[in-house]
């Protein structure tokens, strides 16, 4: 059985980058960069070489571009449906279990990833999704168009903006955890 690629996720604000080390043969691995759903093979080589190249790129992006690395067990980094589906597919997953798809004989709500439409909030806007390596989290996306102050100047303004964002998100629709396989 094939194992899933090794995944590194970084973000800077809404910008997200993923690095994957993929391949079944330790002597023939690929280092893949995924940004905004666009897949680029950065290098190929041994597992050790690709691991070292990935570490170098991660250091560079955090130092020179201000990216922060998603830590294992930490909260997911959210992006739109298409980049998330590209990432999950590259990770080797093929199906998702969606409670909204539990109809007729489909008691588990199983849907092939390639056919999954994602969720929309009560206003018809797309959800955003975060992938942790094993699970997808979905939530309504809150933006400045919802009347949120996106540049708070004080801690009090920041706290007020966060409280407002949570209330807006809850009013737009439920959060959900999607199991994938």
Distance CA 22, CA 3 (A): 9
Residue 120 pLDDT > 50, yes or no?
yes
Tokens of 6: 């090794």
Q: How confident is the model at residue 43 (pLDDT cuts 50, 70, 90)?
A: very high
Q: How confident is the model at residue 127 (pLDDT cuts 50, 70, 90)?
A: very high
Burial label for 70, CB within 10 Å (0-12, 13-18, 19+), is buried
* The pLDDT value given to residue 1: 43
Q: For 48-87, how does the pLDDT look when each residue is reduced to its tens digit (9 = 90+)?
A: 999 999 999 999 999 999 999 998 888 899 999 999 999 9
Please tell me which residue, 115 or 159, carries the higher pLDDT value: 115
Cα separation, 72 vs 83, whole angstroms = 20
Q: For residue 105, what are the contacts with CB-CB under 8 A and spacing of at least 6?
A: none
Supply the mean pLDDT for the chain. 92
Residue 105 zone, left/alpha/beta (φ > 0; ψ -120 to 50; rest): alpha
Q: Where are the alpha helices (DSSP H) in 23-129?
A: 47-64, 81-90
């Amino acid at each position: 059985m094939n194992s899933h690629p090794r995944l590194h996720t970084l973000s800077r604000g809404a910008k997200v980058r993923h690095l994957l080390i993929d391949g079944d043969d330790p002597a023939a691995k690929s280092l893949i960069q995924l940004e905004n759903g666009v897949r680029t093979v950065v290098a190929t080589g041994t597992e050790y070489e690709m691991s070292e190249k990935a570490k170098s790129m991660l250091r560079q992006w955090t130092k020179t571009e201000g990216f922060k690395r998603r830590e294992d067990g930490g909260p997911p980094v959210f992006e739109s449906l298409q980049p998330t589906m590209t990432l999950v597919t590259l990770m080797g997953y093929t199906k998702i279990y969606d409670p909204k798809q539990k109809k007729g004989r489909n008691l588990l709500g199983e849907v092939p990833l390639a056919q999954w439409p994602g969720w929309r909030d009560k206003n018809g806007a797309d959800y955003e999704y975060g992938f942790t390596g094993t699970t997808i989290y979905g939530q309504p996306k809150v933006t400045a168009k919802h009347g949120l102050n996106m540049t708070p100047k004080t801690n009090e303004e920041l706290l007020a903006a966060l409280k407002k964002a949570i209330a807006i998100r809850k009013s737009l629709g439920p959060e959900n955890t999607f199991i994938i396989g």
